[in-house]
Structures are given as C-alpha cells and as structure tokens.
C-alpha cells in the first residue's frame, strides 16, 4: 500500500464535552488522565491513545461494532477494562480476529441478527482524507463496512500517518475467487492496477473470513472517491471494496500531545 502523505491535523483547543460542535478538537494529556488513557509515546502510543479515547464514548446498554486492526484492538481492550468495571454492553465483531480479542476481553459477542441495531462502531483506517477512508489492510473491510455503516455513530481511530491530502493508497477489493480474472479486467478498464494479495506464511492468496480473495488495486490519486466507490460496487464478482465514503462520523487521531477529534 502506498505511503500516505501527511497532513498535520488542525489543533484548535481543548474539548471538554463529547457534545461539542463539529470541527477538530484536541484532547490534551490532561484529558488522558481524566479518561485513564496511558500516555505512551510513538505510533503505538498514538494508536493506543486514539483507541482508548474513542472507547470512552461507549455507554451502558450499547451495542458496539468492534473494528479490526491494531488501533481498533486498543479500543476493544479498553472496552474490556470498562466491562470489568461494571459496564454492560454487547459487541458485534467485524472479523475473526476482533471476535477472538473480544472474547478474551470478556465482551459478550453477538451477530447483527441478534440485536435491533448498532449504537456505535469503532474501527481503524489505512488512509484518511477529508473524512473519506481506505480500509481493508487486514482484509476485513467487507464485514467492517456492514457493521460500521449500520452504526448510529461510526468513530474512526488512527495515528497521524494515516492522514493524506488525497486518497492514493491501493484499494482492497474483496472478490469471489471464480470471478478474479473478470474483476481484474474491469479494474484495469477503470484505470486501476490489481494485484492479488498473497499470504505471507502459506503458498497462495490471502483468503478472507468470507472465503474470498483480495485484489489490492492501485489507482493513483483518487480525486473522486464517491465515483470510484460506485464503479467498484457495480462490478459483478466484487463482494466489497475498501473505499468508505461518507460513513465516518468522527475521526480520532492519536498524537504525541493527545487525541485530535474531528466531527464530520
Ligand atoms: O482490514 C483491516 C481494517 O480495515 C483495519 O481497520 C485497517 O487496516 C487499519 O488497521 P491498523 O489500525 O492496524 O492500522
């Protein structure tokens, strides 16, 4: 996946309430103390801060979408801590990995057909530009999109390296194995260059939790993600792609100073 171009987040002040109006706000380390967040350094610390801060939005009785990846994992662990402190929630995992972690953390896991809806989802991203996302670095984007889109409120958690001026990373496209040649052909016709994602510790492709393959598709700078998202969605054989357009409600970016929250 191409390296994201960094855009410094706007830092406009210290937010005091989750009900603050739209616009970027920064939660400084003092806020970390209030929320019990660990103040560790580096990208790992930034991911932890973002995940743990987003988890403070979880309230008693909620159904929570549990995202996949290293940043969302921090949120899942923080929810586990809250459950041990008496919080009563249910979690809808977005992948095998998220489900395993949720079970380890004592979070009751449920499927979408067992709950009336999803109150809140917390999930990571591979690239973020103007509130639009590329996801699927872990191949979980199909289930993630279902759960994140179903949520009343979708919080994205990330470290600053995920910010970009323009989305330009490879777009993961989950594809029915039997449809791969025709989907590759159609993606080239759209100006993309597909590459079958291969497993690192097995000969052959990565197989998703849904039994499909992933094509990582380079399109260069994606100036109109909504158009490309629509075009990819229409291809027969495409199960789901990693462009998340107009789905995010809040972007929580962990930084060395705290957490910047942008409400969209
Ligand atoms: O399929 C994986 C997901 O979309 C992840 O949320 C995404 O890859 C970000 O992962 P991480 O937080 O580990 O960078």
Residue 85, C-beta contacts closer than 8 angstroms, at least 6 positions apart: none
Positions annotated as catalytic residues are 144
- Residues 222-231 have pLDDT tens digits of 999 999 999 9
Find residue 158's DSSP bridge partners: 253
* pLDDT tier at 42, thresholds 50, 70, 90: low
Report d(CA 106, CA 81) in Å as an integer: 9
Q: Is 172 in the pocket of ligand 1 (CB under 6 A)?
A: no
Ligand 1 atom with least separation from CA of 123:
6
**What separation, in Å, do the N-terminal and C-terminal C-alpha atoms of the chain show?**
26
Q: How far apart are CA 38 and CA 32, in angstroms?
A: 7
| Best of 123, 138, 171, 243 for a ligand 1 pocket test (most atoms within 8 Å of beta carbon) | 138
Q: Strand order in 259-263's β-sheet?
A: 25-27, 259-263, 250-254, 151-158, 118-123, 63-66, 90-93
126 is in an annotated binding site: yes
Q: Is the CB of 75 under 6 A from ligand 1?
A: no
Q: Is 86 annotated as a binding residue?
A: no
At residue 162, what are phi and psi to the nearest 5 degrees?
Answer: -85, -15
User: Is the model's pLDDT at 194 over the cut of 90?
Assistant: yes
Angle at 254 between CA 18 and CA 226, to 5 degrees: 80
For ligand 1, the distance from its centroid to the CA atom of residue 67, given in whole angstroms, is 8
Is 135 near ligand 1, meaning CB less than 6 Å away?
Answer: yes
Residues 94-104 as b/e (b if ≥16 CB within 10 A, e otherwise) read bbebbbebbee
The Cβ of residue 227 has, within 10 Å, a number of other Cβ atoms equal to: 13
Classify residue 23 as left (phi > 0), alpha (psi -120 to 50) or beta: left
Q: What angle do CA 218, 222, 228 make, to 5 degrees?
A: 85
Closest residue (by CA) to atom 6 of ligand 1?
Answer: 124
Query: Is 124 labelled as part of a ligand binding site?
Result: yes
**Ligand 1 nearest atom to the CA of residue 242, by list position:** 4
What percentage of the chain reaches a pLDDT higher than 90?
83
In angstroms, what is the span from residue 248 Cα to ligand 1's centroid?
15
Q: Is the pLDDT score of 3 beyond 90?
A: no
What tens digit of pLDDT does each residue of 106-131 get? Answer: 999 999 999 999 999 999 999 999 99
If you average pLDDT over every residue of the chain, what do you get?
88
Q: What is the third-level CATH fold of 25-164+246-263?
A: Rossmann fold (3.40.50)
Mean pLDDT along residues 90-119: 98
Check if the beta carbon of residue 131 is closer than 8 Å to that of residue 252.
Answer: no
Task: Tell whether residue 123 is among the known ligand binding residues.
Answer: yes
Average pLDDT of the residues in 96-112: 98
pLDDT higher than threshold 70 for residue 214? yes
Encoded tokens for 162: 């995920």
CA of 71, closest atom in ligand 1: 12
The domain ranges of the chain are 25-164+246-263, 171-241
Q: Residue 39 pLDDT > 60, yes or no? A: no
Dihedrals phi, psi of 196, to nearest 5 degrees: -65, 125
Tell which residue, 53, 66, 118, 124, has the closest CA to residue 93.
66
pLDDT digits (tens, 9 = 90+) for 228-254: 999 999 999 999 999 999 999 999 999
Task: Give the max Cα distance, the chain.
Answer: 54
Note the pLDDT tens digit of each residue in 25-37.
776 543 433 333 3
Residue 39's CB is within 10 A of a number of other CB atoms, namely: 12
Architecture of domain 171-241: 2-Layer Sandwich (3.30)
139 lines ligand 1 (CB under 6 A): yes
- Whole-angstrom Cα Rg for the chain: 18
CA distance 75 to 56: 9
């Amino acid at each position: 996946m191409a390296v994201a171009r960094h855009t410094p987040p706007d830092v406009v002040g210290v937010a005091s309430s989750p009900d603050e109006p739209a616009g970027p706000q920064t939660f400084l380390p003092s806020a970390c103390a209030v929320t019990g967040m660990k103040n560790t350094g580096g990208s790992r610390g930034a991911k932890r801060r973002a995940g743990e801060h987003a988890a403070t939005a979880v309230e008693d009785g909620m159904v929570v979408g549990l995202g996949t990846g290293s940043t969302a994992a921090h949120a899942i662990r923080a929810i586990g801590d809250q459950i041990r402190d008496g919080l009563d929630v249910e979690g809808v995992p977005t992948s095998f990995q998220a489900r395993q972690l949720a079970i380890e953390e004592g979070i009751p896991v449920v499927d979408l057909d067992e709950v009336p809806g999803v109150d809140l989802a917390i999930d990571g991203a591979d690239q973020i530009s103007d509130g639009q996302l590329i996801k699927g670095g872990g191949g979980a984007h199909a289930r993630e999109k279902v759960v994140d889109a179903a949520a009343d409120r979708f919080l994205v958690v990330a470290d600053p390296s995920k910010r970009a001026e323009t989305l330009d990373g490879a777009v993961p496209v989950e594809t029915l194995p039997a449809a791969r040649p025709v989907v590759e052909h159609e993606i080239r016709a759209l100006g993309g260059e597909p590459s079958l994602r291969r497993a690192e510790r097995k000969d052959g492709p990565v197989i998703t939790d849904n039994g499909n393959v992933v094509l990582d598709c380079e399109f260069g700078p994606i100036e109109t993600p909504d158009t490309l998202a629509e075009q990819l969605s229409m291809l027969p054989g495409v199960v789901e792609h990693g462009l998340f357009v107009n789905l995010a409600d809040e972007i929580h970016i962990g930084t060395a100073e705290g957490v910047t929250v942008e409400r969209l």
